[in-house]
Structure 1
Amino acid sequence: MELQESLVEYGARRVIITLTAVLCALLEIVDTTIVNVALNDMRGNLGGTLSEVSWVITAYAIGNVIVVPMTSWLSQQFGRRNYFAASIIIFTFASFLCGQADNIWELVFFRLVQGIGGGALLVTSQTLITESYPPEKRGIAQAIYGLGVIVGPTLGPPLGGYIVDNYSWPYIFYINIPLGVIAALMTIEFVRSPKFANKKSASEIDWWGIVFLAVAVGSLQFVLERGQEEDWFNNGHIVFFTVSAVLGFYFFIWRELTYKNPIVNLRVLKNGNLRVGTILSFILGFGLYGSTFIIPLYTQATLGWTATQSGMLMVPAAIVTAMMMPVVGQLIQRGVKQQYLVSAGMLFFFIYSFWGYKILTPDTGSEAFFNMLLVRGVGLGLLFVPITTLALSTLKGREIGEGAAFTGMMRQLGGSFGVAVITTFIARENMLHRSDLVSKLNVNDPLVQQRVDNLQKSFIGKGLSPDVALKSGYQLLDFSIAKQAIVLSYMDVFLYLGLLFLVCIPFVLMTRSGKTKIDPASVH
């Protein structure tokens, strides 16, 4: 524990290190979602197809998820300050190259590099903040870090929408450059590296572990991101990458448990708190990224809002989450059990999802979303800090970095999994609802005939010939069926997402009461 105590900072140094860490976490997370609203412009400028341009998101996620589990080990190899500064520089330089890209595959490659630099920012920021605060203030430390992690995905779309609407898409990458330069200078000046005695020579490095991890995570990410578009297991590529993901994970786990210098220390998962925290981080990622993904999608595709409008809708909820963070940090410090806070957060998330299920229509107004999203903000505030403090509370020294890597990776994987599952689910449900609605639409039904007749008359009134007016009437009827089907699909997503969180509550209460013998306030 001496190692950890020696890294505790006080006064202005602690403030500066905290600001640097939060800035880096924000840079990395905003970049995960900021490109979503710019994909259309990129496609037009760089001449790519929709499936090619979606690789801009996939490549970044693959770079992220490969590097996150290796972060703790790389910090030990090169020294935390050097590795953190190098990651910021790689991320910043790759941001510049992304803005300069001349074709879609150049952009995809630079996004992969940006993801490799960015993955380290998230986990190292968490470790830096945890170690800079004394143990009794860990709850507050995680609350400050959580601000970046929770607010980041929400800030991305409005910021991206504003830049794309007023400037051009390369500026969503250029905005990182001044912030990255400031963060790198502050890191070199203020961040201290812990003394690790176990630096490895090149011959001792777990190269096979790195290869198996990259194959496993890269393949899994590919399957999750591309599965729906490529028709899942009817596509040879998806089958190939699924098999390589399974084999990659199998050999990776075997290698890490048998090799004397593993790149990812799986043995740290013997810690009960960390195991539970890792599973809950996955569920949190699923809910956080899943709901951040579906609401802008629904408001833009179904309600016809602009990118900036749908992005701004998320801002009040993010402010509520930000306000919740220090409150929850204080509650943990005063000894409120994490399992109660997480259960309350999951209940709020269920209320938010059920509310969404009840209010969705083909023309829901922005005021209907407002209160519902505030409830989501409260729920996320109650979830993030307790899950993270619980996961890391009984770890010591270098285990903190390894634990942060696990929770960070599982949150990212949960997010990818959430987006992929939701995309697939919407597509499947849409087909089911559409065929169900069409089956109920009997052409011989007098009411249906009357509706078509009225539509035909209104089109004739606009100057169309009777046969074209009839065709237009049927097209409008078909369009309203399609819209109704998509609304029903989104309603199903909200309902099932809420039920997932509701079902978890008893498990959280059962699991943790046995394991939270040590709360963060008493770790000395």
Structure 2
Amino acid sequence: MSTVATVAPRRATPISAALLVAGIVLATLTEAIASTVLSLGRGDIIGDTYATPDEFAWLDIGYTSLKLIGFIAAAALIDRIEPRRLVIAATLVMGLACGLAAMTARLELLVALRIVQGFAGGVLLVGGQAMLFLAYPRSRQPILQALFAMGSVVAPATIAPALQGWLIDSQSWTWIFFSVVPLALVAAGLLLIADGPMPERTAPRRFDWIGFALIAVTLFCATYVLSQGSRWDWFEEPRILWLTVIGIAALLTFLGQQLLARGQGLIDVTLFGSEDFCFAFIVSFVAGAALFGSAFLIPAFAVSVLAFTPTDAGQLLLPSGALFIGALLIAAYLMQVRRVPPVATVPFGILLIMAAMWMLSGSTSDSGADDMMAAILLRGFGLGLLFLSITLIAFGQLDRRNRAAGIGLFNTGRQLGGLIGVAALQTLIDHGVVANGAVLGANLSAGQPAVVERLAATTAMLTAKGMDAAAAARAAAGLLGRAVTGQSTVIAFDTAFNAVALLFVIAAPLLVAIKIGLSRYAKARAARGSEAKAS
């Protein structure tokens, strides 16, 4: 998409280089906090804004859909604005929008501010990562991309939930938004001081407004359907059905329009001429589903089954963040110092994530943080090995002309994969709770000795505590029903953990086959090119 031909980096001092990297990582932390604010603060925000669940949903839909649109638009903005200035502007806009969100309880204003936050977050993520590739040579990218991943991937999955849980329990949800403001100011200050890459500007390509409108409609429909479909039992709700139809129609129209644009459309189609980018783009969907899906499952299980507080649920993933960071640094060392190819760590990452999800599938209502910690740590280490590898595979061979567009598409794939994964797991859990409850309830007839004994023991215990016999009998039946529901929920979550593991069992051979197919296609195309030159 971009028409930046070459880049002439300034001769930055080591201090200036460190300031640039620190500023970019801090900027990504602002997005990490803003993107996950609704995960633990839902109940508090609904209470303070007097919003219905349908109204509250727009806070998430507005942010996520505009974040995806920001991913796509970022390349065109980088084409027209110096990357450092763009990231500074996006970071300050994020800080301002979060500061205003902390000072209002008006739902309409909060939705508007979430839309601004989402677009700013998408732009600063793409701009920050593109700036690292522009400012530093390929040989230094492993460690730089590992540092970037700490803010863009590790923080939303581990650090941000822990911070938010503590703030909700000790202060209020508004402090989550307030915490973004100083981070944004410090990040912008560091980026202002640091020397950034100076692209040699050329005339930007005409912006494809038609293509942008079509992909914006597609991404909005996809976000709404995937985030709200499970609440409405999917296509049983007409609005979900119609938005799905509109989204598919807009996507097909967009793809046709891009083909007819002959290289002048919104998407730089030359990206898909790279075998590595095509493979990593496909993997990004699977990796996104694993990252966001497991990050959704573990705190949800802790809160709904183990009755953890928001602070405890947030801190549950915190130790895995340390292993995630450790795996990123180990992988960066292997690739930058030992020259290990990025693809070499992908199988180990997949196996570790599969093992972690299989271990979590044995959790019960009596499990605690200690019982789950080994699996959670394995998950963090596996994700670290996987994400750095696919990042370097995706962007390592792209040139400066289309790298920003590639980063935007890759992030879009990862985010959509996460939406698909969470939606599928939520639906699996909802249906599983109902189905498991029906099966368990069918085996609890009133005349069974075990049931009679359980009800009698519970009734006697309640009677001994001062409750009259009739009320105690009713309460005993209610407690038995709650036990059945609780066990149904545990089984549903265990099935969901297994589903994430099975995702890789199914996806791994398919990805290998795709990689082999792409390699053969690339070799055949290269051979045809050589024959054409020879003739």
Same fold by TM-score greater than 0.5: yes
Q: Distance in 1 between matches of 2:84 and 2:154?
A: 25
Residues 1:75 and 2:78 are matched in the alignment: yes
Determine the structure 2 residue equivalent to 1:126. 129
Root mean square deviation of aligned Cα: 2.1
Determine the structure 1 residue equivalent to 2:154. 151
1:7–1:131 contact (8 Å) kept in structure 2: no
Residues 1:373 and 2:376 are matched in the alignment: yes
The 3-state SS of whatever aligns with 1:364 is: coil
Shift in alpha-carbon separation, 1:513–1:335, aligned structure 2, 3 A: farther
Residues 1:472 and 2:475 are matched in the alignment: yes
1:347–1:505 contact (8 Å) kept in structure 2: no
The 3-state SS of whatever aligns with 1:394 is: coil
Determine the structure 2 residue equivalent to 1:318. 321
Q: Report which stretch shifted further, 454-463 or 408-417.
A: 454-463
Q: Distance in 1 between matches of 2:175 and 2:415?
A: 25
Identify the match of residue 188 of structure 2 among 162, 176, 184.
184
Shift in alpha-carbon separation, 1:217–1:378, aligned structure 2, 3 A: same
Q: What TM-score does the superposition give when structure 2 sets the normalisation length?
A: 0.92
CA displacement, residues 42-91 of structure 1 (integer Å, 9 cap, x when unaligned): 11111112332233222211110111111111110233233222212221
Identify the match of residue 291 of structure 2 among 277, 288, 291.
288
Determine the structure 1 residue equivalent to 2:528. none
Determine the structure 2 residue equivalent to 1:485. 488
Q: Runs of 4 or more off by more than 6 Å in structure 1?
A: 513-518
Determine the structure 1 residue equivalent to 2:44. 41
Determine the structure 2 residue equivalent to 1:235. 237
Q: Distance in 1 between matches of 2:297 and 2:191?
A: 36
Identify the match of residue 301 of structure 2 among 295, 298, 323.
298
Shift in alpha-carbon separation, 1:515–1:223, aligned structure 2, 3 A: closer
The 5 Å alignment of 1:377-396 reads 377-396=380-399
Provide the aligned length of Structure 1 versus Structure 2.
Answer: 514
Shift in alpha-carbon separation, 1:500–1:7, aligned structure 2, 3 A: farther
Q: Distance in 1 between matches of 2:423 and 2:111?
A: 19
Gaps of 5+ in 2: 523-535
Q: Distance in 1 between matches of 2:477 and 2:416?
A: 44
Residues 1:23 and 2:31 are matched in the alignment: no
The 3-state SS of whatever aligns with 1:229 is: helix
Q: Report which stretch shifted further, 295-304 or 28-37.
A: 28-37
Identify the match of residue 264 of structure 1 among 267, 270, 284.
267
Shift in alpha-carbon separation, 1:193–1:430, aligned structure 2, 3 A: farther
Identify the match of residue 441 of structure 2 among 424, 438, 441.
438
Q: Distance in 2 between matches of 1:289 and 1:493?
A: 13
Determine the structure 2 residue equivalent to 1:409. 412
Q: What TM-score does the superposition give when structure 1 sets the normalisation length?
A: 0.93
The alignment-based identity, stated in percent, is 26
The 3-state SS of whatever aligns with 2:354 is: helix
Q: Distance in 2 between matches of 1:269 and 1:8?
A: 33
Gaps of 5+ in 1: 519-524
Q: Distance in 1 between matches of 2:11 and 2:487?
A: 57
Residues 1:352 and 2:356 are matched in the alignment: yes
Shift in alpha-carbon separation, 1:503–1:332, aligned structure 2, 3 A: farther
Amino acid at match of 1:121: L
Amino acid at match of 2:307: G
Instruction: Give how far 1:117 is off.
Output: 0.8
Shift in alpha-carbon separation, 1:135–1:515, aligned structure 2, 3 A: farther
Identify the match of residue 329 of structure 1 among 326, 332, 335.
332
2:9–2:198 contact (8 Å) kept in structure 1: no
Determine the structure 2 residue equivalent to 1:244. 246
Determine the structure 2 residue equivalent to 1:223. 225
Determine the structure 2 residue equivalent to 1:521. none
Determine the structure 2 residue equivalent to 1:54. 57
Q: Distance in 2 between matches of 1:383 and 1:198?
A: 38
Instruction: Give how far 1:96 is off.
Output: 1.5
CA displacement, residues 239-297 of structure 1 (integer Å, 9 cap, x when unaligned): 12111110111112222222253222233122111111111111111111111111111
CA displacement, residues 88-142 of structure 1 (integer Å, 9 cap, x when unaligned): 2221111112112232222122111111111111111111122222112222222
Shift in alpha-carbon separation, 1:236–1:328, aligned structure 2, 3 A: same
Q: Report which stretch shifted further, 95-104 or 215-224.
A: 95-104
Shift in alpha-carbon separation, 1:514–1:223, aligned structure 2, 3 A: closer
Q: Distance in 2 between matches of 1:136 and 1:183?
A: 25
